[in-house]
Amino acid sequence: MNEYIAQQTQAFMANAANTKVPAEVQAFAQDSVARAREAFAKWSAGTQSGIRAIDRVMLANQSGAKTIGDKVLSNVQAASEAAFDAAQGLARAKTLPEAAKLQAKFVQEQLALASQQGKALFDLSAKIAQETTDALTVIATKSAGDLQKAGE
């Protein structure tokens, strides 16, 4: 039985050694490999472009976060200075009504300032969020177009 299998294997190998791959099959295979390579190159370029674009968005977001952080820090410093100035004014007050008037004025000014600062921070945050959304939309649209071109 083993000898029979060995003979059949040798016969198959002898026939296979003389068998030629048809030119059409070779051409089809070569064309398929070339198309696959081209599609991969397009996909790869699109992916790299997308990654670079996302990096730019992330850097812009980081910059936006830093801007917000700087603004918050600036607001805290201004509020602290105002509190020290108010405390100094209270320390110089000669009467209780004068001290109460200074305190009321300080609280009123701080509430108005906090409202303005809150609105400014909200507007800044909304602007950064909109810029990020717009940039991501551009990236997604371009990436979809690149992927569609790569598939063609």
User: Is the confidence at residue 1, as pLDDT, over 80?
Assistant: no
Residue range 117-124: mean pLDDT, rounded: 94
CB atoms within 10 A of CB 26: 11
Q: Please give the DSSP secondary-structure letter assigned to residue 94.
A: S
What per-residue confidence (pLDDT) applies to 79? 93
The rounded percent of the chain whose pLDDT value lies above 90 is 49
pLDDT digits 0-9 by tens, 57-97: 888 888 888 999 999 999 999 999 999 999 999 999 999 99
What per-residue confidence (pLDDT) applies to 6? 84
Q: How far apart are CA 73 and CA 24, in angstroms?
A: 72
Kindly report which listed range (15-19, 88-92, 127-131) carries the lowest average pLDDT score.
15-19
Q: Domain of 99?
A: 2-151
User: Is the confidence at residue 147, as pLDDT, over 80?
Assistant: no
Confidence band, pLDDT 50/70/90 cuts, at residue 138: confident
Q: Please give the DSSP secondary-structure letter assigned to residue 54.
A: H
What per-residue confidence (pLDDT) applies to 73? 95
Cβ pair 93, 99 in contact under 8 A: yes
Q: What is the mean pLDDT of the chain?
A: 87
User: What is the domain count for the chain?
Assistant: 1
- Reported for 57-63, long-range contacts at CB under 8 A and 24+ positions apart, including other chains, are 57/132, 57/135, 57/136, 57/139, 60/128, 60/131, 60/132, 60/135, 61/128, 61/132
For 69, the token pair is: 């952080």
CA dist 98 → 53, 91, 103, 108 (Å): 60, 11, 9, 15
Q: How far apart are CA 15 and CA 4, in angstroms?
A: 17
Higher pLDDT, 34 or 50: 34
